[in-house]
Amino acid sequence: MKPQTRASMPRTRLLLITGALLLCAGAVVARAAYMQLVTEEFYQSRGNERFLREVTIATTRGMITDRNGEALALSSPVESIVVNPQVLLTDTRNIPKLARVLEMPVDELTRRLAQKHDKQFMYVRRHMNPDDAKAVLDLAIPGVRSEREFRRFYPHREVMAHVVGFTNLDEHGVEGMELAFDQWLTGEPGNQKVILDRDRRIVENVDLIRPARNGKDLTLSIDRRIQYLAYSELKKSIKDNDARAGTAVVIEVKTGEVLAMVNYPSYNPNSRLAISPSLRRNAAVTDVLEPGSTMKPFTVAAALEDGIDPNMLIPTGPGKYYVAGRPISDTHDYGPVDMRRLLVKSSNIAAAKLAAMMTSGHMYDVLDRFGFGERTQSGFPGESAAVLSAPNKWGPVEKATISYGYGLSVTPLQLAQAYAALANGGVMVDTTFVKGGSTGRHKAIDPAISSQVLHMLEAVTETGGTATRAAIKGYRVAGKTGTSRRAVAGGYEKRYISVFAGVVPVDNPRFAMVVVVHEPSNGSYYGGLVSAPVFHNVMDGALRLMDVPPDNIEQWYASTPAAAPALATDSADEQPPDDGVMP
Amino acid sequence: MTPRLFILAALVLAVLLSAVNVAYARHSHRQAYIELSRLQKARDAFNIEFRRLQTEQATVSETNRIVGIATEKLGMHFPLENETMVVQP
C-alpha cells in the first residue's frame, strides 16, 4: 500500500498543481478576453484621452472694404504669449527673466501667476508684434509658448470709426458694421482630431471633424474718398464755427446706398483705451433732432398731393400768426407767398397755413411714406426710432408745428433718406450700408410732385435764397436749410442746430446729402451759413470723383473763362439769410 | 508539382505581394501627408504675409497721408473753377 501511496501521491499533486495553474491561466485569458472584447471601447477611449485631442481650427475674420475694394478693417497676425503656470512656477528663477523681456513689473507677474497657480493656461500678454514675441520665445523658458491670434486694424481711424465700428480683443464686433455683420465676418471655426505630445504640441492630424469656414469679406457702400472729404470738411466747419459736434450723410439716390456717413468728434478704433460711449455713438443713426425747416418740402409735397394749387398765394403778413392762441412768426413780413417763395424764404406761417388746409390723416400719410417716424431698413445697430405721433393726437398747434419741422424728430440718416426719395422721382429706396444691398423700394409720392418740389427747392440755392453757399458751379442744386433749437425738458434751449439737406444734380439726381452742425457758437448759426458750405465742398468733390456730368453748362459758359479765381461770390454775406428759426 | 501545390504557392505569393503593397501604400500616405502639412503650413505663412502686406498697403494708402504728400510735398491742389474747361462732345 505504502509504495502505491507513494507513487500515487506525486501524481495527485501534479494534477492539483496543473489544475491550479490552468485555472490561473484561464482566469488571465478570460480577463484579457473580457478587456479586449467586451470593454475594449472604454479602455480605448481612456487611452485616446491621453494623447488624442479635439482642437478647433481658427478662422480668420473677413475684411471690410469700401465700395472700391479699399480695406477699411482687416485682421493682421499678432502673437499672444501664453504660459502654463504649473510648469513655470517649478523654477521661480525664470519669472524675473520673463518679466524683463516683457517689460512688466516682476511683482505683477508673480501676483498674476499666484492667482492661477493651479491652472495650465494663462495669457501673459496678448497681441504682441510677432518680432517681440519671438524675442520672448528665444529665451526658451519651459511652460512659455505663443499663440497666433489676429488683431483688427483700422487704417482709416477716425474717418471710418462710426460706420465700421470695432471689435473686442477676441475679434467679435462691438459696434457698427462689425457688430451688424459679426456672423458673416466671423465664419465658422472647424474641428479636428490631433495627437498631442506631452508639451501639447501637435504630432499628427488624425481626423478632420468639421472643416473651418473662414469669415467672408464685406463690401460696404461707403466711398472712402467721399467719406474722407465729408469728414475733413465737417471737421473744418465745426472748428470754424466753434461748434460742439456735427454729422454728415451722403446717400446715392438711385440705389439707396450710403456713400459717406461721418460724425465729429470721432475716435480712433485702433486704440485699446476705453472709448467713452458718447464718442462711440454713431450720431447719424442714433441721435434724433427736430428737422426744423428742412421739413417744409414734405409739407409742400403733401399739399400738392392734396390738389392745392402751387401758385396759390398764401398771405403771411404781418409776420405773426396765431394758431389756437399760440403765435407763429417769420423773421420778416414776406407778404403773400406761393409755394416756391414759401420754401425760398422759409416761411413758417405759410407752412402752417398750408397744413391747416389739409387733414391730419393726409399729412401723416405723406410723412409716413417718406419714412418719418420709423427706423430705416439699414439694419445699423442701435438705430433710434424717430418720433412722429399718430394723427389722431394732433391738435391744430401740433399740426402747425409739424408742418415746419417741430414736434417730431428724425435722425440725420432718415432725413437724408427722405430727400433721396424726393430726388428719386418719389420712389423711396431702402437705405443700406452694403454695396448693392438695398432690400426694397416703395412709392412715396407721384413723380410729377417730387419733381415740382425739387425745382422749387432749386431756388433756395440761387441768388436770393437762404443757401446760396450750397450752389455748385455747373450743377443745379436743390436744397433746404433749417435751423432748429435743441429741445430740452420743458422747452427749447438757446442752442442751435444748423441743418442743410440737399440734392444734386437736379436734372438727374445722384446724391442726397444732409449736414447737421450742433451748437455753432461764434456768430452765425443759420443752416445756410454753417451747414450749406459743407454741402458745397463735399458735393463739389463727390461730383468730380464720381464723374457726374454737369447739368448746367450754360452757367459755365456764361462766366468769363479768364476771370480771376472765382471765389464763390456770396450774396448771403450781404443779405441776412433766414430760414425760419422758431421764435 | 500538383495543381494544388501550385495554387497554394500562387496564393502565398499573392499574400506576400499584397503585404508589400499595403506597406508601400501606408508609406506613400505618410509621405503625402507630410507634404500636405508642409504645403498647408506654407499656405498659412503666405496668408499671414499677405495680411501683413494688406495692412501695410492700407496704412500707406491712407487718405490723410496722400493728401498731405500731394499738397505739401508735390504742391498739388484741387482745380479751381477757372482752371476747369468744359468740353462738349
pTM here? 0.80
Same domain, A294 and A419: yes
What's the pLDDT at A6? 56
DSSP H stretches of helix in A210-320: 224-240, 277-280, 283-286, 296-305
Q: Which domain-ending residue is among A202, A220, A238?
A: A220
Structural domain contains residue A440: yes
Same domain, A183 and A330: no
Same domain, A212 and A243: no
Same domain, A433 and A513: yes
Is residue A55 packed enough to be buried (19+ CB in 10 Å), middle (13-18) or exposed (0-12)?
Answer: middle
Same domain, A238 and A215: no
Instruction: Identify the residue among B26, B55, B67 best suited for mutation to test binding to A, counting A beta carbons within 10 A and taking the highest.
Output: B55
What's the pLDDT at A5? 54
What's the pLDDT at A279? 86
Host H or E run for residue A352: helix A348-357
For residue A290, the enclosing domain spans 224-268+282-556+568-573
Characterize A484-515 residue by residue with b for buried, 16 or more Cβ atoms within 10 angstroms of its Cβ, and e for exposed: bbebeeeeeeeebbbbbbbbbbbeebbbbbbb
Same domain, A326 and A458: yes
Interface contact A553-B48, CB threshold 8 A: no
Q: Say if CB A473 and CB A569 are below 8 A apart.
A: no
Structural domain contains residue A110: no
Structural domain contains residue A108: no
Q: Which domain-ending residue is among A199, A220, A241?
A: A220
Same domain, A324 and A180: no
- DSSP 8-class letter at A550: P
d(CA A249, CA A234): 11
Q: Which CATH number covers residue A195?
A: 3.90.1310.10
Q: Under an 8 Å CB criterion, which residues of A touch B?
A: 60, 63, 70-71, 74-77, 148, 150, 153, 155-157, 159, 205, 224-225, 228, 232, 473-474, 541, 550, 553, 556-557, 559, 561-566
User: Which residue in B62, B82, B86 is closest to A563 by CB distance?
Assistant: B82
Characterize B46-55 residue by residue with b for buried, 16 or more Cβ atoms within 10 angstroms of its Cβ, and e for exposed: eebeebeebb
For the record, the C-alpha cell of B51 comes out as: 495680411
Same domain, A379 and A317: yes
- Please state, in angstroms and as integers, the Cα–Cα distance from residue A8 to each residue in A17, A240, A509, A554, following that order: 14, 124, 122, 137
d(CA A371, CA A369): 5
Structural domain contains residue A60: yes
Nearest chain B Cα distance for residue A302, angstroms: 38
Interface predicted TM-score (ipTM): 0.72
pLDDT in tens, chain A (583 residues): 455 555 567 888 899 999 999 999 999 999 999 988 888 888 888 887 777 777 777 778 899 999 998 889 988 888 888 888 888 888 878 888 888 888 888 888 888 888 888 887 888 888 888 778 888 888 888 888 888 888 888 988 889 999 999 998 888 898 899 999 999 998 888 888 887 766 666 667 777 788 888 889 999 999 999 999 999 999 999 999 999 999 999 999 999 999 999 998 999 998 877 788 888 889 999 988 889 899 999 999 999 999 888 888 998 878 888 888 888 888 888 889 999 999 998 899 999 999 999 999 999 999 999 999 888 888 898 888 878 888 888 888 889 999 999 888 999 999 999 999 999 999 999 999 999 888 888 999 999 999 999 999 999 998 888 888 899 888 999 999 998 877 666 666 668 899 999 999 998 999 999 999 999 887 777 888 899 999 999 999 999 889 888 887 777 666 644 444 444 443 333 334 445 554 4
Structural domain contains residue A341: yes
Residue carrying the nine cell digits 441743418: A499
What's the pLDDT at A489? 62
Same domain, A303 and A191: no
Q: Which domain-ending residue is among A220, A241, A258?
A: A220
User: Which residue in B47, B58, B82 is closest to A74 by CB distance?
Assistant: B58
d(CA A499, CA A531): 6
Q: Say if CB A522 and CB A252 are below 8 A apart.
A: no
- Active-site residue A278, yes or no? no
- How many domains does chain A contain in total? 2
Structural domain contains residue A353: yes
d(CA A330, CA A322): 12
What's the pLDDT at A568? 41
What's the pLDDT at A575? 39
Structural domain contains residue A92: no
Interface contact B58-A564, CB threshold 8 A: no
pLDDT digits (tens, 9 = 90+) for A53-85: 777 777 788 999 999 988 899 888 888 888 888
Same domain, A443 and A501: yes
Is residue B87 packed enough to be buried (19+ CB in 10 Å), middle (13-18) or exposed (0-12)?
Answer: exposed
- Picking from A382, A335, A23, A364, the residue whose alpha carbon sits closest to that of residue A176 is A382
Same domain, A263 and A159: no
What's the pLDDT at A550? 84
Chain A positions in Cβ-Cβ contact with residue B52 (cut-off 8 Å): 76-77
Same domain, A201 and A328: no
What's the pLDDT at A110? 85
Q: Which amino acid is at B1?
A: M
What's the pLDDT at A583? 43
Chain B positions in Cβ-Cβ contact with residue A153 (cut-off 8 Å): 55, 58
pLDDT digits (tens, 9 = 90+) for B28-84: 988 888 888 889 889 888 988 888 888 888 888 888 888 899 999 999 987 777 777
In three-state form (DSSP H/G/I as H, E/B as E, the rest C), the secondary structure along A207-239 is EEEECCEECCCEEECCCHHHHHHHHHHHHHHHH
CA nearest B36 in A: which residue? Answer: A205
**ω into A3 cis (within 30 of 0):** no
User: Which residue in B59, B78, B81 is closest to A155 by CB distance?
Assistant: B59
Instruction: Identify the residue among A66, A129, A153 best suited for mutation to test binding to B, counting B beta carbons within 10 A and taking the highest.
Output: A153
Structural domain contains residue A82: no
Q: Which CATH number covers residue A326?
A: 3.40.710.10
Options A266, A293, A403, A409, the catalytic residue: A293
